[in-house]
Amino acid sequence: MKVLFLAHTEEGGGLGKAALEALGAAKGLGFELVVGLYGAEVQAGADAIAGCGAAKFLGVAGADFATARYGSDASACEAIAKAAGADLIVMPATARASRVAAGVALRLGAAVDTRLTGLEAAEGKVVATRWFYRQRMVGRIERDARPWLVTVDSGCFEAPSDMKGAASVEMLSPAVATRTVVTGVKSPAADAQTIRPEAKMLLVAGAGWGKSQAGGMKRLDEASQLILSLIGATKCSLGSSKSLVDQSGEGGALPFLTHMHQVGQTGSTPRHQKGLATCCHGEEPHVVGWRFITERRAINLDASCGWAQGKADVLYVADAFAVVKALVELLK
Amino acid sequence: MKGLQIVVLGSIVPDPLQTLEPIVGPTGPALKNEMMLPAVLDPWAGHALYEAANLAKQVEGKVYLVALGPKAKLQQVMMNVAQKVPFEINVLDGPAGGFTDAAETAKALAGAVEKLPGLDKGKLLIFGGWQSASRGTGAVLQMVGELLGVTDQFQGVDEIKMSDDGSFTVLERIEGGSYQLSSCQGAPAVLGWATGNLPEPPNNPQVGMANMRFIMPALQKAVAAPLKGEGLRFQSVEVPSQRRETRIVKDAPVDDIARELADWIRA
Amino acid sequence: MTDHTADKLPEGALPDGVERQRMDVDIACVGFGPAMGGFLHTLSKGLVAEDGAPVAESKAMPGMPPQVICYERADDIGFGVSGVVTKGRGIRASFPDLDLMQIPLATEVRHEEVVYLLDPVGASRRPLVMRLKDRFLRATGLAKNHAYTLPYIPNFLRKEPGYLLSLGQFNQWAGGQIMGQGSAQIWPGTPVAGPLMEGRSVVGVRLQDQGVDRQGRPEAGFMPGMDIGSRLTVVADGPVGAVGRALDEKLGLPVGNHAREWAVGMKMVVDLPEGCALKEGLVLHTLGYPEPEIFGFLYVYPGNIASLGIFVPSWYDSPVRTGYRYLQHWMQHPYLWKHLQGGRMRSWGAKSLQESGRRGEPHLVGDGFARIGEGSGTTNVLTGSGFDEAWTSGVLLGVSVLELMEQDKPFTRENLEATYVRRRRESWLEREARIAEKARDGFQVGVIQGLIGMALAGLSGGKAFWPGATRKPHERIPSLEEFFRGRIPAEEIAQIRRDCTQKGLPLHGALMDRLGWPSIQYDGQLLVSHQDALLLGGKVQAPGGYRDHVTFKSTNVCKACDEKVCIEACSGQAISTNPDGGAPLFDREKCVHCGACIWNCSKPSPQGGESANVDFQAGAGGLHSAEN
Ligand SMILES: Cc1cc2nc3c(=O)[nH]c(=O)nc-3n(C[C@H](O)[C@H](O)[C@H](O)COP(=O)(O)OP(=O)(O)OC[C@H]3O[C@@H](n4cnc5c(N)ncnc54)[C@H](O)[C@@H]3O)c2cc1C
Ligand SMILES: Cc1cc2nc3c(=O)[nH]c(=O)nc-3n(C[C@H](O)[C@H](O)[C@H](O)COP(=O)(O)OP(=O)(O)OC[C@H]3O[C@@H](n4cnc5c(N)ncnc54)[C@H](O)[C@@H]3O)c2cc1C
Ligand code: SF4
Ligand code: SF4
């Protein structure tokens, strides 16, 4: 069995965390390994993993492949995969790779499964794990068809280390047919950036922040300021509940919250080492958003809130306004 | 550009708040009580449909909804969706669950799109949700695009802006809350939608009545699309038990709680 | 064109450039419950000849078949709440070859029991006679597990041979059949705001505005509720529907009739624990506990699933009558708990029942309208059944409408009286309703008198009953101090009121604790918080863009109100204490549209009439469970 690890490089030609984890997944299977990289430049990336044990390095590089664009990325992936002739192709589930993975599989006549959270080989069989119904149930799947192209979710596999060296990359130059130009990236300003997938901790702000507090008043400005200070002090990522997001946005309860912050059933399922839920009631929609958070703590005024029923490791029954204020002081 | 043909691919999923439990059925895993659970139009496909209708209004285009799902459930869901925006539906009677193979679904859908009367690929935009809320692979649209030879594709789309000459710009969600901005010379293209920017349209009885003239006949004419379910084998499907021993800290001074949390965050 | 003004709709001119759209149909139908199911099924079958051609032509859209459109408020046609056990006479007649296997959760009634529950915790408010009886049952060893099974079930209560159904699943099934026939359209997610009236005639309906804020003010995407003109409006919006109540208000009830008796039914569908001894087809009714006035039911569906719940009636005078906590105490009665412990809640819901029956009958027809179902007084308060009665009233109207269409006669009051009302008067529906008419009057006096009265009426075919004069629901509700006199001192009530108000909590929890009701130990499965029942069981949600459908007519009246029954009794905790002390707060996202707030208010409407200070309008959303 031959495995192709196929990934795009980042700006500067190196590999991102998600790609390295996907390499870990591919390598972990213990079969013959081929590496395929595409992007503006690939040499730096190949060198960074030169010692990964791959039999061969394939690459597609150039200005045409600098940006995440379906037409060019699909051609690059198709060319590499065809040259590699692998049985199993492992790609990271980044936005860029996810855009093309299934299309590439179709070109190759390959079977495809995306966003795997587990991949292992046992007794000659490869078994994959993935989630269904918006992370509500987990399945173990296998296929006889080869080639089989998979993408793996970030945060699920260990990235191998100490692989630096000099790799010799066999370059391919596929033709690109596209009528699309990527013209730029719109990012929130660095200090306004509150979604940080790489952060160690996720802070979940629930609707309680926007509710009338003891004394009957809403304390929205204070809530905003406290949440932002805690993010500032911890460099954590911010998530929120549907209830709060629906009330927020410009002119709403908390102006910096958008629907991109929503975690849960109809939001995202982020992966972080730690999670702190504040003012969330904690029912199933949250739990789904929480599924891949390893250590979980919660602050709620109400001891009978959903968190008490076995979803968090620790529930602090307390006023989040007061606790977060003191916490920010301590962390300063 | 006038007269775009916007084909929205979308089917039904269980109403998001329902309790879901897997069972082993005759053909592999299935949802317990699947036919009893209330269903809705897959939320991201729904956004795609509303965006399609909005765009069709601007360009005097036409919206088709191609849906692969169990006919009886589709009929029920259509009684809700049909009031929202004008479209013409094409129904494939088959399974819509999360355990079906994306590739099989894509083949069936691409076949149905090919057969749409008067299809002009030069004017074709394929819309859909960037992932389904059931299978969540984000694979179907890409494969339908490939099968139809459409290689300008976008995923996680929140906005499309159409120019008079038919070219358009697209905002796609990428990591870290950022957007990638692209421009494309024009149809054909595939757009997998995230939430978009439009609110859910109100229920309009007139729209409903107009749509119904096509929906009931389309349901009656629905072609059976029994997916074979070959290739993908399930070893197990389960709802992970996530119960934790929750330590409840009550009546503790705020400063103690803050200190404990600070230590935990720093560790 | 005449200018139609819908009754009771918020005044206010439309913003510039926005027009209220209008559409004409032949028959506009309001609400899809069993009554409408019976009507549309009958009509659909009769509207097409054997060769598939329509038997009549549309007058609203000449050249087309008759346009029959039904608007349902809830987001799906399967989101109703009921029991249901039924003799199913009407259903059998409509579906002679009915195969229960087609309808999930349906089965036959196999075994019936009526059980008197004693009070195992000593907190229930039992009259002396009942306490003596309890003592006797315990002393003689007749009571097991604090319960006494009645040795025989009087005929009028028997449901065998009959069906057990889930209303949600039945409605889905029936709706699917009707839509499949193609003669009628059913549109869920579309609340009807009110009737369009010209004098005493109904000329159509107006739909609820969309794209408005909580106060009903236009926002982005504003679409004024459309006017649907119709030759006939069929009102089947159940016991608390906005259209039926608007008609009652405008036209009054026939002399001597009034709809003052209510109950809220709160229920769950439960996955019974493995190895549970309860058998499919069991029908169990309870009385006596948690309060003597509260009746309970437990029906066993196929697949080890039970439908169970309680009824809290308007003649249980407690100003803190909370369905949810009582439901939890009822389930934990040892007689039931031994079967339920370890079970899991699948579904939860609540809804009001119109318990005045025949005496609450409104004007059944008028020019351009006809009323069917519970809102037309079909529910039989003696036999405790409303489902088949509602269906049958729809069938009778269906047959009558077909007759008038075939003869090309207009839907005038006279014509509808000569057909529909006549058929109804001649039916078993009317016969049995007459027997039941005074059966519950005794409850106006007291619970013992009520039970005796029911037995009298049932056994004598309605000739005997225990008399009792009815009062408007708000007139019955005493102050907290009065109700708890002798049990909790007034100063303590005042203290509890202060504490709870400060915390924004209702009073019932604290008061019930004080009376010795044990606190509920949540197990996360069957015993969960009220909010979790909404989320896990009811899957309650509300689409945006609609106005608050529960409002308070006079905030000053609320300000001065000490009972705040609306908060205590709200089935969804959607009405809550206002920390500012004004009118209570309403949270649309939690409302299950049970309508209990209509009759759970202790103050009369400032406008006078029968109603109280709560205004309950048609709204979208609510329960999203199709099992109740
Ligand atoms: C179709 C659908 C999809 C959904 N998808 C999602 C989803 O993806 N993600 C999601 O999150 N939700 C989702 N929901 C919504 C979900 O059902 C809940 O309504 C929502 O998550 C509740 O949010 P919350 O916990 O923030 O608010 P609430 O339930 O209002 O809880 C607020 C909490 O704050 C506490 N609180 C108040 N003040 C304080 C204080 N000072 N200190 C400490 N605690 C305090 C209160 O005790 C309370 O427990 C969905 C709903 C629907 C209908
Ligand atoms: C807990 C409970 C248990 C019961 N158990 C039994 C039993 O075991 N056996 C039995 O025979 N009966 C039982 N009943 C009674 C029975 O369910 C009712 O009598 C029956 O459902 C009445 O049918 P209907 O069609 O008249 O009204 P409903 O079933 O109430 O239907 C009315 C419909 O109209 C809709 N509607 C309301 N307002 C509007 C509006 N403004 N615009 C559009 N739509 C609107 C509602 O959403 C609803 O779907 C029970 C009731 C309850 C609450
Ligand atoms: S609505 Fe009625 S019960 Fe509620 S506070 Fe107002 S007056 Fe009192
Ligand atoms: S507010 Fe809603 S849930 Fe509460 S009693 Fe009224 S109708 Fe029922």
Query: What pLDDT is recorded for position A249?
Result: 67
Q: How far is B251 from chain A (nearest CA, A)?
A: 7
Same structural domain, C556 and C418: no
SS3 (DSSP) at B31:
strand
Q: Quick one: tokens of C279?
A: 């058998």
CA–centroid distance, C574 to ligand 3, in Å, is: 14
Give the residues surrounding ligand 3 with Cβ less than 6 Å away.
Answer: C 552, 557-558, 561, 563-566, 584, 601-603, 612-614
Q: Does residue C182 lie within any of the structural domains?
A: yes
Rounded to an integer, what distance in angstroms lies between the CA atom of residue C378 and that of residue C358? 6
CA distance A299 to A282: 11
A330 phi/psi in degrees, rounded to 5: -65, -35
Q: Closest approach of chain B CAs to the CA of A230, in angstroms? A: 11
H or E stretch at C284: strand C282-287
Domain of B142, CATH number, reads 3.40.50.620
| Nearest alpha carbon to residue C548 among C524, C526, C519, C574 | C574
Note the maximum CA span of chain C.
79
Residue C9 confidence (pLDDT): 43
Reading the block at residue C208, the tokens are 């609820």
Q: Is the CB of C614 under 6 A from ligand 4?
A: no
Determine contact, residues C543/C620, Cβ cutoff 8 Å. yes
Q: Is residue C417 domain-shared with residue C378, that is, in the same domain? A: yes
How far apart are the C-alpha atoms of A77 and C330, rounded to whole Å? 64
Q: What is the mean pLDDT of residues B22-35?
A: 90
| Tokens matching residue C77 | 């046609």
Q: What confidence category does residue A303 fall into, taking pLDDT thresholds of 50, 70 and 90?
A: confident
Q: Would A2-171 and A190-331 be classified into the same CATH topology?
A: yes
Residue C269 lies in a domain: no
Write out the H or E segment, with its range, that includes residue B220.
helix B205-220
Q: Does residue B140 sit at the A interface (CB-CB below 8 Å)?
A: yes
Exposed e or buried b per residue across B10-24, where buried means at least 16 C-beta atoms within 10 angstroms of its C-beta: bbbbbbbbbbbebee
- Total domains in the fold of chain B: 1
Question: Counting one residue from B and one from C, how many pairs have CB atoms under 8 Å apart?
Answer: 89
Identity (one letter) of the amino acid at C554? S
Distances from the Cα of B62 to the Cα of A172, A250, B58, angstroms: 42, 34, 11
Q: Residue B99 domain-assigned?
A: yes
- In angstroms, how far is CA A131 from the centroid of its own chain? 14
Q: pLDDT tens digits, residue range A162-183?
A: 999 999 999 999 999 999 999 9
Question: Residue B14 is inside which H or E element, if any?
Answer: strand B12-14
- Residue that has been written with the tokens 């992007």 in this structure: A39
Mean pLDDT, rounded, for B15-44? 91
For chain C (length 628 residues), average pLDDT per consecutive 10? 39 79 97 98 94 88 94 97 96 96 96 97 94 94 94 89 97 94 94 98 97 90 95 98 97 94 97 97 97 97 98 94 96 98 97 95 98 97 94 98 96 98 98 91 87 88 86 92 95 93 87 96 90 90 93 96 95 89 89 97 93 96 96
Identity of residue C566? C
Residue C86 · residue C163 · CB < 8 Å: yes
Instruction: Give A51: exposed, middle or buried? Use CB within 10 Å, 0-12, 13-18, 19+.
Output: middle
- Return the domain boundaries, chain A: 2-171, 190-331
Cα–Cα dist A21/A118, whole Å: 11
For B95-231, strand residue ranges (E) read 124-129, 153-162, 168-173, 179-184, 189-193, 223-224
CA of C14 to the centre of ligand 4 (A): 29
DSSP code at position C14: P
**Shortest distance, CA A80 to any CA of chain B (angstroms):** 18
Based on the fold, state whether residues C537 and C563 are members of the same structural domain.
Answer: yes
d(CA B226, CA B223): 9
C287 falls within a domain: no
CA C193 to chain centre: 18
Q: Give how many domains chain C has, as a whole number.
A: 3
Quickly tell me which residue has 């009771």 as its tokens: C8
Give yes or no for A304 touching C (CB within 8 A). yes
Print the SS3 string covering chain A: CEEEEEEECCCCCCCCHHHHHHHHHHHHCCCEEEEEEEECCCHHHHHHCHHHCCCEEEEEECHHHCCCCHHHHHHHHHHHHHHHCCCEEEEECCHHHHHHHHHHHHHHCCEEEEEECEEEEECCEEEEEEEECCCCEEEEEEECCCCEEEEECCCCCCCCCCCCCCCCEEECCCCCCCCEEEEEEECCCHHHCCCCCCCCEEEEECHHHHCECCCCCECHHHHHHHHHHHHHHHCCEEEECHHHHHHCCCCCCCCCCCHHHEECCCCECCCEEEEEEECCCCCHHHHHHHCCEEEEEEEECCCCCHHHHCCCCEEEECCHHHHHHHHHHHHC
Whether the link from the prior residue into C84 is cis, omega within 30° of 0, is yes
The protein residue with its alpha carbon nearest to ligand 2, atom 1, reads C265
Same domain, C78 and C181: yes
Whether C523 and C462 share a structural domain: no
Ligand 1 atom showing the smallest separation from residue C589 Cα: 19
Q: Which of residues 53-112 of B touch A (CB under 8 A)?
A: 98-99, 102-103, 106
| SS3 call for C305 | strand
Beta bridge partners of C112: C283
Looking at the CA of A321, name the nearest ligand: 1
Helix (H) or strand (E) holding C328: helix C323-331
Sequence length of chain C is 628
CATH of domain A190-331: 3.40.50.1220
Smallest Cα distance from B139 to chain A, Å: 5
Q: Is residue B244 one of the residues assigned to a domain?
A: no
The response to whether residue C308 sits with its C-beta less than 6 Å from ligand 2 reads no
Residue C584 gets which letter from DSSP? P
Lowest mean pLDDT among A44-48, A57-61, C533-537: C533-537
| Region B216-220 average pLDDT | 92
Instruction: Assign domain A2-171 to its CATH architecture.
Output: 3-Layer(aba) Sandwich (3.40)
Residue B91 lies in a domain: yes
Residues C414 and C459 in one domain: no
Final residue in a domain of this structure, among C380, C412, C436:
C436
Does the beta-carbon distance from C188 to B80 stay under 8 Å? Answer: yes
pLDDT tens digits, one per residue of C270-294: 999 999 999 999 999 999 999 999 9
Token digits of residue C49: 């000849």
CA angle at C113 for the pair C111 and C119, rounded to the nearest 5°: 150
Q: Where do we find the tokens 């990359």? A: A169
Q: What is the CATH number of the domain that holds C369?
A: 3.50.50.60
Look-up of token digits 């087809």:
C281
Rounded to whole angstroms, how far apart are CA atoms C116 and C150? Answer: 7
pLDDT per residue as tens digits for the range B172-189: 999 888 899 999 999 999
Confirm or reject contact between B35 and chain A (CB < 8 A).
no
Tell which of A245, A283, A301 to mutate to test the C interface (max C CBs under 10 Å).
A283
Q: Which strands sit side by side in the sheet containing A201-205, from one edge to the other? A: A237-240, A201-205, A272-278, A293-300, A314-317, B247-249
Of C132, C139, C134, give the one whose Cα is nearest residue C117: C134
Task: Find the domain containing C451 and state its range.
Answer: 438-470
By residue range, what is the domain housing residue B213?
Answer: 5-224
SS3 B257: helix
Predicted pLDDT at C532? 85
Instruction: Let me know if residue C69 belongs to a domain.
Output: yes
Q: Which ligand is nearest to the CA of C592?
A: 4
d(CA A121, CA A112) in angstroms, rounded, equals 17
Q: What is the pLDDT of residue A72?
A: 98
Residue C90 lies in a domain: no
Residue A32, Cβ neighbours under 10 Å: how many? 15
Q: Are A164 and A51 in contact (CB under 8 A)?
A: yes
* Residue B125 located in a structural domain: yes
Instruction: Identify residue B154 by its one-letter amino acid code.
Output: F
Q: What is the pLDDT of residues A196-255, one digit of tens each?
A: 888 999 999 998 898 877 766 788 899 999 999 999 999 999 999 888 887 776 667 788
Does residue A294 register a pLDDT over 80? yes
Do both C551 and C418 map to the same domain? no
Asked if the structure places residue B51 within a domain, the reply is yes
Asked if the structure places residue B242 within a domain, the reply is no
Q: Are C507 and C569 in contact (CB under 8 A)?
A: no
Q: pLDDT value at position C2?
A: 37
Ligand 4 pocket check: which of C591, C599, C600 to mutate, most ligand atoms within 8 Å of Cβ? C591
pLDDT number for residue C411: 98
ipTM entry: 0.93
Pocket test for ligand 3, best of C565, C568, C580, C586 (most atoms within 8 A of CB): C565
The reply to whether C590 falls in a domain is: yes
Decide if B205 and C78 are in contact by the 8 Å CB cutoff.
no
| Within a domain: B229 | no
Asked whether residue C159 is assigned to any structural domain, the reply reads: no
Residue C500 domain flag: yes
What type of residue is C127?
P
Largest CA distance in chain B: 72
- Ligand index nearest the alpha carbon of residue C265: 2
| Element at B23 (helix H, strand E) | strand B22-25
CB contact under 8 A, B174 and A133: no
